[in-house]
Amino acid sequence: MEGVIYSVLYTGIYYSTYHSIQLYNLFILYIPVYDMLFINNCFLILVTRFVPIIIFICGLCIISLSIFNSINSFIRYLSIVKSFIHLFS
């Protein structure tokens, strides 16, 4: 069950990060520099610059937490195996 949840999370993070970066590239590359000085484009520039970064950071946090959880589970599994080996030897 955890594997299904993690795969759904990874897929969602990957697609949201990928599409955010594409949106970021689309807006940042095609907005001229002089348009950045106008007030009406400030919100657009703020969204296109910071939303992909926030989504990317959230994705990295979720991935690092799941990797930490996997390492912690693996260490517990090794300690159980070690105790079984110690028990039968």
**Residue 14 contacts residue 62 (beta carbons within 8 Å):** no
The overall average pLDDT reported for the chain is: 67
Q: What is the maximal distance between C-alpha atoms in the chain? A: 76
What is the Cα–Cα distance from 61 to 53, expressed in whole angstroms? 12
pLDDT at position 69, please?
Answer: 77
Q: Average pLDDT for residues 42-47, to the nearest whole number?
A: 63
The amino acid present at 75, given as its one-letter code, is I
Q: Are 61 and 25 in contact (CB under 8 A)?
A: no
Residue 47 structure tokens:
């969204």
pLDDT digits (tens, 9 = 90+) for 62-88: 777 777 777 878 888 888 788 877 777
Quote the CA–CA distance of 11 and 2 in Å, as a whole number.
14
**pLDDT given for residue 29 in this prediction:** 53
